[in-house]
Structure 1
Amino acid sequence: LRSFTFRQTATKQRLDIENGLFEKSLDFKLISKMRGNSTANGSNGTHDVDIEQMESFDGLISGDWLSSLVNWLNGILPDLRLPLDATEEELRQYLIDGTIFCTILNKPRPSSAEMDGGSKCGPVNVKRFLVAMDEMGLASFELSDIEQGHMMPVIQCLKTLRVCVNSNGEVNNIQNPSRKTWNLSGEFERIQLKQGFNADLSDATILELMKPSSLENASTQSLFSMLYRIMDGSIERNKRDLPHIEKSKVEEMGKVEKQNLLQLKKNNIQNDLEISRLRKELESRKEMHERHCLQLEAQAEGTKAVLEVKLKELECLLTDSKKKADDLQSFSESTQKRWKNRECSYQSFIDQQFGALKGLREISKSIKREALKTKKSHSEELNHLGKKLKGLRDAAGNYHLTLAENRILYNEIQDLK
């Protein structure tokens, strides 16, 4: 247990020292130099550093990348005044109108992305900014990301702008617009690093590079190597101090174990006393339980005799109930036979009535047919009679006309006479 605790304590102490050393060894000037050290091709050589690699290292160093990004926005746009503890949603509200994007892009290259005023022109400004980013061959985002989507593509785009545009509002030179690769060089590079090989920097070289003039002129890869060397050396120095720390930890653990041993002895004595008390209590409880068992046995004997008497009475009642059940069964069978006979008689009566009903239905159908036939004959006779009456009416009309003509002729004859 002591060995395991010692190893745990040593490992934890080593990790704490390494983490604290990593945070303390990153100087702010060195970080700023690595962020702004993307200049044009010089006479001393060039080094191509990928944006994703540089940004991942920058995020590892800064820890709070969102606060660092907000701080950069406030630096390049002093009138913005964003809070350093702004969340992603608050940052979305500031960026959704597109003016910040266009302003940053217009600083090194005026009129790269034209802006319109008003809250309704926000999507238009964002679209113009995205078009300008595509023309420059830089990573951008979708319009839906800034409106209601995830903010990570937007923040990645801002990080790209942060690498492209320095603190003075000047854009860094791009060798190939289709590639997101920037040319980083130093005019006074002190240490040359070959591809696939990390140079071993001496302490004198590190001290020389830590000077402000050397820090401004050093290349990015030299600064990376210097950082790794500082961290490795500091970790090695702190590892030498670990035995003293571990020794003090072991002494403290020994004192704690002695105190724990005394406490365990006290607890053991108390446990023995408690065990003896519990044994006495168990014996008394056992005697009480035996007496209670004897009482229960006596009660069980008396209860058994009473239950035997009740059982005999119940057996007699059972035989009587069986006889009654047999009588009821015979009575129910006779009643069932009687009801079956009645059912047969009712069924025959119903069948007779059903046959008579069918006969009446046939008779009613025949009467209906006769009535329809009579109705049809009557209608035919009425039609024939109507035709005859029409002929009589026409004859009567002709008679009246003839009578009127005869009267006229008679009057003319009288006049002639």
Structure 2
Amino acid sequence: MNGPEELKRSNSAFESSVNINSEVEAKQRALLIEWLNSILPNLNFPIKASDEELRACLIDGTVLCQILKRLKPASVDEANYSYNSSMSRSGKIARFLTTLGKLGISRFEMSDLEKGSMKPVINCLLNLRAEYITEPSTALLHHVGHKFHEVFQLKQGCYSDLPAAKITEMMKSTSLDNAPTQSLLSVVNGILDESVDRKNGEIPHRVACLLRKVVQEIERRISTQADHLRTQNNLFKTREEKYQSRIRVLEALASGTGEETEIVMNQLQQIKTEKSKLEEKKKLEDDDVAKLMKEKDQQMLENLALKRELEMAKKTYELRCLQMETEYKGAKSGFEERIKELEHLLQVSRNKVRELEANSDSKYQRWSRKESIYQSFMDLQHCALRELRFSSDSIKQEISKAQQSHADDLYCLGGRLKALAGAAENYHAVLAENRRLFNEVQDLKGNIRVYCRIRPFLPGQTKQQTTIEYIGENGELIFANPSKPGKDGQRMFKFNKVFGPDATQAEVFSDTQPLIRSALDGYNVCIFAYGQTGSGKTYTMSGPSGPHEEDWGVNYRALNDLFNLSQNRRSSIMYEVAVQMVEIYNEQVRDLLTNDAVPDASMHPVTSTEDVLELMDIGLKNRAIGATALNERSSRSHSVVTVHVRGKDLKTGIPLHGNLHLVDLAGSERVDRSEATGDRLKEAQHINKSLSALGDVIFALAQKSPHVPYRNSKLTQILQSSLGGQAKTLMFVQLSPDVNSYSESLSTLKFAERVSGVELGAARSSKEGRDVRELMEQVASLKDTIAKKDDEIERLQLLKDLKNVYPGVNSEKRGLNTF
């Protein structure tokens, strides 16, 4: 009696288990469809579809191939799947099953998909899903997410350098959905590392947006995975309840008939087997759940850290935005001011343009009137030109007749002028020869040569006010009176040579060198500098203090040249050179080389230029100088350097003796201008007295007076052999060009003019065996030559005047063509 009731209970249990199985299969089918829609977005298959609808979707094999291509692209390539219509559906399903066999996944039969139960197909696809659901990066790395993974793996550490278009592409939902979770985490870590490495901690706006999207995607995946785990857990609980109910049914049936018992025992054995499998699978899934929960907790911690860092980055970004907004406002105000200025300038420019347009219009009208006037004038000129052409034609006819009549006369005249032109070409050479002969006559007459040197302006003096009007090449000097402008205040002086302010020490010495070398030939030579204080006498004779070789004065250059020349002549003449150096200070002679007041100065032999430089430095240090209102280093004494030259001709044995006197006179000065008092006044009085005595001697020599007052001063006594004997004498006249020194400069020029007229007589060498008569004959011969040259110059001058009258007559042919 209990059998039927137990059978009813077992049937109800089987029905409940069937219902449970149908519910489980529906959930499995829904889970599979959800998974297919996630990996194939274009499928859009309904979640509550039936087995037949799922069979209709999978029967052609295209969806199966798309699943494998999405999860395992390499396998699809190996199997050479294609979507061409030429491949049959059975071929696609067969290749899909073959690929599953290679992957080690349990397969279904093709008959199951065509008309059998869909449970093996659903289980197979769920196994495939379980195989790849835990490793999405392996399956999806080679598809759409591959591009995302590749970009951020290759560009780590430089996300701020990615272009905006690339970041926008990566932020698309398709790229983020298909990207591996590991790649998303590496992106987050890379962006945060880069923000830490930056000095200001700023993250660009587009990179911050990408970071927010990636974090949201990671949170979505964690939430989805948690939902999946909950669904699996519910499924396992349902299965456990189903199996427990089956066990209870089987235990209830155990007390039934033997046949039923055998059936129930078989089912029980099958249920136990399935239960053991489910327990193992549940254990694995529990392990996976624990692992996923652990990963979820870790990811949650990472997400919290990322959120905090993102908030910090957001705050930094907001602060930076505020700062940039402040800078923008400041820059905006500056730009607005600049725009206002530019608008003002634009308005000014427009006004100027309008003014220029008005001016151009007025100028255009004026030029139009002028054009009409010029046009009328040109018309008159054309009429006049026509009349002139007519007159010109008649005149040409008359000229051709006159030309023909004068051709013969011009031919003869051209021949004569040709000869005269050839003679005129030698005019300048004749003048140079005449100048050379004149200088030789001057030497024979014994005139004192006078060189004038003009000092350059000193710092602080006005160069526009000068007394020097003109400097000629042949020794002419025009001296101007600043109080009498014009020709009335000008006076011309003539000297042997005039050196301008730009003349160098080397140029001055080059004109003096031939005279100095005469000392080696046995002549007495005297060179002295004369002029007011501060006019440059010491600079010309000695040079500046501590001079370089290019600044050497006449003294240093003369001695250096004498030594060089004596070395060149040592094979024929042997020379001995000695130097004396004295000064006349307050009418007292003092030896500068021993600093003693002795009657006879000491003589120091020298053998090289270095010896001379040493002695000259000693003498200049011992010389008396002082400061006045006109010169801070005014020479307060007359300095005399005497070079004694003794020579002997090695072939003839004839001795010779020559002397070279180099005199630097103290400057003449007016006591009222120099503001001299005390010792300076006494020195000035003695200087002026000695220079006055020198002037008296020069005046007496110029007048050829029988008595010359040499003994009135120690200076004139020392210079007696040079001024009264048969010596070669040269005087440097030093001038100051400023107008304040006009009277002193004029007095100096007048004195130099008197000196240039003094004839000392022909200089004689100390060589023995020479006859004066030969010199006199030479003088007479030179005078005759000069007379002949003067006649020739007059004849050439006449030819030159004729050439100026007929400038075109240079040859016979040219003269004819000209006329």
Shorter-chain TM-score range: under 0.3
Q: Which has the higher strand share?
A: 2
**TM-score by structure 1 length?**
0.26
Structure scoring higher RCO (CA < 8 A, sep ≥ 6) equals 1
TM-score under structure 2 normalisation?
0.14
Larger radius of gyration: 2
